[in-house]
Amino acid sequence: MNTIYFDNSASAIPCAQALGVFAETAKIYANPSSLHSAGLHARRIIENARAKAAAAFRCQSGELVFTSGGTESNNTAVRGLAHKNRRAGNVIVTTRAEHPSVVATALSLEREGYETVFVASPGGVPDPDELESVLKSKKVCLVTLMQANNQNGAVTDLKKVREIMESSGTGALLHSDCVQSFLKLPEESASDAARFCDAASVSAHKIGGVKGTGALFVRKGIAIPALMTGGEQENGVRAGTENIAGICAMAEAVAHYGAAERAKVAGLREYIINSLREQLGENVVITEPPRHIDSLFNFALVNVKSEVALNYLNSVGVCVSSSSACSSKAKTNAALASMGYGAEYERSALRIGISPYNTKEECDLLVAALKGALAFRIKGK
């Protein structure tokens, strides 16, 4: 049975060229911190990859630190920026819709005297009035808000967030989890994170790279304390010998996710949504935030429980998810609940993540399988 893979927001189908580069650069055995010629060669390869990734993020090379992934980038940013800016206050502002690597890190800082304030996030976008009122009334050291929500793809306008921060007179720093938005936004918004944030997190395996690599943008001039200590690598922000193959594969994946790939993903999204509406009619509720990325969307099969649908889909070779992979073992989906969709929707929520390597034929098979899942509607409904 062939696998029809539409869980690309949990981990994307890798880009073939990135896998090729991964295999090739895994052969580079010298330590990039060594001063002999082999070490210097390894260093040049990393710096070349850094320049490519930084260009895509629209920042300077020196502002990009390689990490082990989005989780580490978020942990480093939230902890590091909160400590760095402790003088401005002890309050961290975020939302319940954030990824657990942000929420759990913020909450863990409460043991060190910080307070976490959750701003409402209807539909996955933080309430601007509430954000402003918290910023005006509390001593905030850090605002951390994701650019694209990993459950429904809703996009938060970072320019607007920065404007609210400026008009409120806060001394807070701004971090954004850009794991789902990196390379997925239209050209005019592609530089938003680097323009308006002090730090931003990305991950390689969401864009066609390999798991175990990510990056953290830290604005020039902000000396963020390291999470991993014991070495001066990555500007002293992330100790440990660099993962050359993962880094080079990430840079290669970046080079292969551009306007054409975004257009293909947008086309497939539209095709799936139209087919679902045509073929499932009132049996499907699709969430379409006004501003969204095209690489994922959330929907519910009316009266079919998520786990029942997932089991059926899995039995016919179709992979989607019921929520973000990191919370897939949790009994309830706190992030989705915080967005205000209601218990009935939440119980049936599914997420489709689209890759430029998916095909229309796969979309047809996906929609047919979802139609098949309707046979498992709760009896009597």
Residues involved in catalysis: 326
In the complex, least distance from residue 74 CB atom to ligand PLP, rounded to whole angstroms: 6
- H or E stretch covering 107: helix 100-108
Judged by CB under 6 A, the chain residues 156 through 185 that form the site for ligand PLP are 177, 179-180
Of 295 and 348, the one with the shorter C-beta distance to ligand PLP is 295
Structure tokens at 283: 């049996």
- Under the binding rule (CB under 6 A), the answer on residue 80 touching ligand PLP is no
In the complex, least distance from residue 325 CB atom to ligand PLP, rounded to whole angstroms: 6
C-beta neighbour count of 290 within 10 angstroms: 8
Of 55 and 325, the one with the shorter C-beta distance to ligand PLP is 325
In the complex, least distance from residue 275 CB atom to ligand PLP, rounded to whole angstroms: 26
Of 156 and 348, the one with the shorter C-beta distance to ligand PLP is 156
Judged by CB under 6 A, the chain residues 88 through 117 that form the site for ligand PLP are 99, 101
Of 102 and 369, the one with the shorter C-beta distance to ligand PLP is 102
Cβ contact 140:132 at 8 Å: no
Which of 9, 6, 25 has its CA nearest to residue 252? 25
Interacting span for ligand PLP (CB under 6 A) from 133-141, 297-305, 318-326, 353-361 = 318-326
Interacting span for ligand PLP (CB under 6 A) from 19-27, 68-76, 224-232, 243-251 = 68-76
Which one among 14, 32, 70, 289 touches ligand PLP, defined by CB under 6 A? 70
Cβ contact 227:218 at 8 Å: no
Which of 116, 122, 147 has its CA nearest to residue 134? 116
Of 69 and 289, the one with the shorter C-beta distance to ligand PLP is 69
Determine the Cα–Cα distance for residues 364 and 214; give it in Å rounded to an integer. Answer: 33
Interacting span for ligand PLP (CB under 6 A) from 66-74, 113-121, 268-276, 344-352 = 66-74
Determine the Cα–Cα distance for residues 3 and 251; give it in Å rounded to an integer. Answer: 27
Q: Mapped to the 3 state alphabet, what secondary structure does 31-93 carry?
A: CCCCCCHHHHHHHHHHHHHHHHHHHHHCCCHHHEEEECCHHHHHHHHHHHHHHHCHHHCCEEE
- Under the binding rule (CB under 6 A), the answer on residue 146 touching ligand PLP is yes
In the complex, least distance from residue 182 CB atom to ligand PLP, rounded to whole angstroms: 10
Sheet of strand 199-203: strand arrangement = 64-67, 214-218, 199-203, 173-177, 140-144, 91-94, 115-118
Ramachandran class of 235: left when φ > 0, alpha when ψ lies in -120 to 50, beta otherwise: left
In the complex, least distance from residue 326 CB atom to ligand PLP, rounded to whole angstroms: 6
Interacting span for ligand PLP (CB under 6 A) from 14-22, 65-73, 114-122, 230-238 = 65-73
Which one among 239, 325, 334, 374 touches ligand PLP, defined by CB under 6 A? 325
Closest residue to ligand PLP in the complex (CB): 70
Q: Which residue pairs from 216-220 have beta carbons closer than 8 angstroms and sit at least 24 positions apart in sequence? A: 216/64, 216/65, 216/67, 216/72, 216/73, 216/76, 216/77, 217/57, 217/59, 217/63, 217/64, 217/65, 217/193, 218/63, 218/65, 218/77, 219/63, 220/60, 220/62, 220/63
- Under the binding rule (CB under 6 A), the answer on residue 8 touching ligand PLP is no
Of 76 and 275, the one with the shorter C-beta distance to ligand PLP is 76
Of 198 and 275, the one with the shorter C-beta distance to ligand PLP is 198
In the complex, least distance from residue 101 CB atom to ligand PLP, rounded to whole angstroms: 5
- The residues facing 215 across adjacent strands are 66, 202
Determine the Cα–Cα distance for residues 360 and 366; give it in Å rounded to an integer. Answer: 10
- Under the binding rule (CB under 6 A), the answer on residue 323 touching ligand PLP is no
Interacting span for ligand PLP (CB under 6 A) from 36-44, 109-117, 191-199, 319-327 = 319-327
Q: Annotate each residue in 184-213 with x if it binds ligand PLP (CB under 6 A) or - if it does not, as one string.
A: -------------------x-x--------
Determine the Cα–Cα distance for residues 125 and 320; give it in Å rounded to an integer. Answer: 24
Cβ contact 221:235 at 8 Å: no
# binding residues, ligand PLP (CB under 6 A): 18
Residue numbers at the binding site for ligand PLP (CB under 6 A): 10, 69-71, 74, 99, 101, 146, 150, 177, 179-180, 203, 205, 214, 324-326
